[in-house]
Structure 1
Amino acid sequence: MIYYLIAIILLFIDQCSKYAVAHNMTVGEQVELIPNLLYITSSRNTGAAWNILEGQMWFFYIISIVVLGVVIYYMQKVGRHHPFLGVSLGFILGGTLGNFIDRIFRGQVVDFIHVYLGSYSYPVFNIADSSLVIGVILLLLYTLFEGKKGKKQ
């Protein structure tokens, strides 16, 4: 299915970018891409967003396995019949796998995308994180529009 291909492509991009950062930059090193806006900053994370639950790897292993199971189940049962849902699940699958692989093989997640919005330094993130956020937004949009369709019918 095309939705698994989306997940594989996102996973490939995520893992290649993390490999490049981990092998070519020291932790804390920063490269300016767009002054005062976008930087590549080599960072590591043993928790979730904003380092919450730092060091609780067992928790993230369990959550990742559950999410992967649920996403694959819904991809097989529903996603194949609803393209928008399938795409959103593909993004979620790719993002979940990307960070799960990091946790298993590195013991931490490699983060490197660093955005500054004015004086605010947004927490450093990666392609997998972006994939997850995009997937969840698409899933919310799907749920919103499907709910409205159901009410009309």
Structure 2
Amino acid sequence: MSLKKAGFLIVLILLIDQISKLYIKTNFALGEEVEVFDWFRILFVENEGMAWGTKIPGEYGKLALTLFRLAAIVGIGYWLWDSVRKGGSRILIISIALIFAGAFGNIIDSVFYGVIFDDSYGHVASFLPEEGGYSSLFHGKVVDMLYFPLYKGYLPEWIPFWGGKYFTFFEPVFNIADSAISVGVAMLLLFNKKAFPKHKEEEEKKEAA
């Protein structure tokens, strides 16, 4: 797979991701929800930190996280370029492109959204507000909106530890960028032999020797 095709895939995912985030940010107040189906809802939340809402403590925690993401995206970009140059498998190139696009999509939020939007508490945010954004450069929050509460209810009493407690599956709220990263990683895990055929052949030769 060529670098041009991989780039097209990345741009396509970035467009879908950012258009969906811009729409949510400029049409929903924080916490506003629309039910599409019983098992699928559009719910506007913002993630201040890493996956699952984890935060790096301290005054410079958010800045450190954003800078780490920027460094990571450079590494992923080089991995993509190097894999194409070495004639990597189609599955490998697609997987890396998905991971790159997803990481890049969330980086855009972290770097710019604090500057180009005001906050969404109790009202719909404004794009490029005259009073300035809700935060500074590199301190933006990631916009999430896809919510799939496939099951909600009290678990049976006989289940250890969680029995009798109210449980929601699937509880995390995520976005298109998160989905791209998850699909890319899943492809690498599920199709590992096809993604890294040369490495597997070299290992088999070493074991035979």
TM-score by length of 1: 0.89
Secondary structure, counterpart of 1:59 in structure 2: helix
Count of residues in correspondence between the two structures: 152
**Residue 12 of structure 2 aligns with which residue?**
9
Instruction: Measure the CA separation in 2 of the matches of 1:8 and 1:87.
Output: 13
Task: Specify the code of the residue in structure 1 equivalent to 2:34.
Answer: V
Q: Say whether the 8 Å CA contact 2:103–2:181 is kept in structure 1.
A: yes
User: Could you tell which deviates more after superposition, 113-122 or 94-103?
Assistant: 113-122
**Residue 94 of structure 2 aligns with which residue?**
87
Larger Rg computed on CA atoms: 2
CA deviations over 1:19-65 (Å, ceiling 9, x no partner): 01011111111001111x10000111111111101673222222212
Unaligned runs of 5+ in 1: none
**Residue 59 of structure 1 aligns with which residue?**
64
Unaligned runs of 5+ in 2: 114-139, 153-167
Q: Say whether the 8 Å CA contact 1:45–1:54 is kept in structure 2.
A: no
**Residue 79 of structure 2 aligns with which residue?**
74
Instruction: Measure the CA separation in 1 of the matches of 2:18 and 2:202.
Output: 39
CA deviations over 1:67-106 (Å, ceiling 9, x no partner): 2111111111113512211101110111011100001111
Instruction: Measure the CA separation in 2 of the matches of 1:102 and 1:149.
Output: 41
Q: Say whether the 8 Å CA contact 2:32–2:44 is kept in structure 1.
A: yes
Kindly, what percent of the aligned residue pairs are identical? 30
Secondary structure, counterpart of 1:112 in structure 2: strand
**Residue 135 of structure 2 aligns with which residue?**
none
State the Cα distance separating 1:140 from its structure 2 match.
Answer: 2.5
- Higher relative contact order at CA 8 Å, sep ≥6: structure 1 or structure 2? 1
